[in-house]
Structure 1
């Protein structure tokens, strides 16, 4: 009768010689061009810190004294492109240039009043988040990069339409030759009302509210 018992395992052999390393693979494409935090710098034509300019434009908005239209400001590209074949529509909304309605408060230069506001769309390629903080002049921690500081501005409280609050650069530029008082779309400073649930101090009733734009 055949014996089906298995014998004991033998000792392991000596490891073989390590083979030659293969050639390096192809380098992948860099993702820098598509990533990063994107923000609009209102009131300027350049970007802060090490951010890259995506495009320059002018600040557009709906006319102040109309009840309808858009609520937010738009950074309108200078080099407009059109697709529609029509040159006029009967029932449309309108975008006009946005003026600094800053008067003589001693915050912006007196020459800025009624001038049209430019804007710049910027990309911080090495960062992924952007935040605007109203009421601050500095970023939260050292992990955040200051892009710019400014003043919290919006449409006038007695206008028919509402606008968004935006952080306008503390050192604004303006479009020369556009100083006519058109009362189209406007940017006004904001203050708090201390009797309406606002902690005073640290807020003050008659000071223009500041703001800061930070990336991380």
Structure 2
């Protein structure tokens, strides 16, 4: 029964080895599939990684081949063990019915077969012979030995005896302190000399200043002084009253009166801002004759409606006005009144150059439109026309195309 148990154990061991090899082969094949997938994913990115994966695949294939060879060897071992088990069984089954001589002969045959099978098994399990190593070098020096124990310390010698200390010299006796002497007698006071005659005394000093008295009652308020003359006002403003030769009677002061002037209506050059030329010009250095420089012309009214037809083609007067009590000035177009809190200097009509002439500035011409007496249409001249709004970009109502626009000059 011991031999049968050993055979069973050998078979069980072989089966376990076969299962291990099978699982190892399955795991290796799974690893191979995984590696193949990684190779396919990485081959677009790096050629060097692809080569490394191919080497790993070859290595895995070699391992699988070796495992398959080992599996074949284990199969041979199992077959040998199974064959041996059958022969043992036949031996024990026929031992009782066979002669002793036949049994011994059969056992010897089985022993030879067993030895051959064991040799085959040993050869299979042993594997291939390894490659013979190269000539060995001399071995390195061995590890130093353990340090020995330290020897025992010698005994400590006895300490020498100390010498005797000499006696201290004695101190001499302290002397006796002498007694304190008696205090001497106080001498008699000397006689005082006769007092001399005194001189005339000086005048005494001024006495200490007395305490300051209480504050007296407040006096009555005096009468207010007379008002001084009014000072000159600071600031003020200046404006031009176009279309008139005097200033309004609301505190404005006339600086001078003159004539409105500007560039001719068809001239490209010259200034665009009109001027109020005085009636008494002054000249400095000059050259006679026309120098073909820049020119300025007198301004004339150009009106064709019945309201202002009597002044058409007349020269436009102007006045420079100074208002000392105000500091802000503004011309409001399309209105002939000023906002609340503002003073209306004058109001009138908004006028400028004709639409197909070269442009000039808008002026607020006084509604009286005073002409210059004796003037008439002159060519060339600077002309001013009334202004009418055009609907479309302007809102109509409130604007109307057929009505001339007004204006107001306001101060504050």
TM bracket, shorter-chain basis? 0.7 to 0.9
For 1:201, the equivalent position in structure 2 comes to: 397
The answer as to 2:252 corresponding to 1:54 is no
2:348–2:365: 8 Å Cα contact kept in structure 1?
yes
For 1:151, the equivalent position in structure 2 comes to: 349
Distance in 1 (CA, whole Å) between partners of 2:260 and 2:254 is 16
Structure 2 residue ranges without an equivalent (≥5): 1-211
Instruction: After superposition, give the CA deviation of every residue in 1:169-216 in whole Å (9 maximum; x if it has no partner).
Output: 0111111111124241001011111112x1222111111110001111
- Deviation at 1:100? 0.3
Distance in 2 (CA, whole Å) between partners of 1:211 and 1:195 is 22
Structure 1 residue ranges without an equivalent (≥5): 1-11
- Deviation at 1:28? 9.4
Distance in 1 (CA, whole Å) between partners of 2:275 and 2:265 is 14
For 1:35, the equivalent position in structure 2 comes to: 235
2:297–2:380: 8 Å Cα contact kept in structure 1?
no
Distance in 2 (CA, whole Å) between partners of 1:30 and 1:93 is 44
What is the TM-score when the length of structure 1 is the normalising length? 0.82
What is the TM-score when the length of structure 2 is the normalising length? 0.44
Higher-helix-fraction structure: 2
Distance in 2 (CA, whole Å) between partners of 1:189 and 1:162 is 14
The answer as to 2:272 corresponding to 1:71 is yes
**Aligned pairs (5 A) from 1:143-182:** 143-159=341-357, 161-182=358-379
Structure 1 runs, 4 residues or longer, greater than 4 Å off: 12-18
Distance in 1 (CA, whole Å) between partners of 2:326 and 2:295 is 35
* Count of equivalent residues: 195
Classify the secondary structure of the residue corresponding to 1:111. helix
The answer as to 2:317 corresponding to 1:121 is no
For 2:123, the equivalent position in structure 1 comes to: none
Q: Which has the larger radius of gyration?
A: 2
Aligned CA RMSD, in angstroms, stands at 2.4
For 1:107, the equivalent position in structure 2 comes to: 307
- Deviation at 1:149? 0.6
Instruction: After superposition, give the CA deviation of every residue in 1:85-130 in whole Å (9 maximum; x if it has no partner).
Output: 3224524111111010112x1332x220000000001011111111
For 1:96, the equivalent position in structure 2 comes to: 297
The answer as to 2:330 corresponding to 1:131 is yes
Distance in 2 (CA, whole Å) between partners of 1:182 and 1:16 is 89
The answer as to 2:404 corresponding to 1:215 is no
Distance in 1 (CA, whole Å) between partners of 2:302 and 2:346 is 21
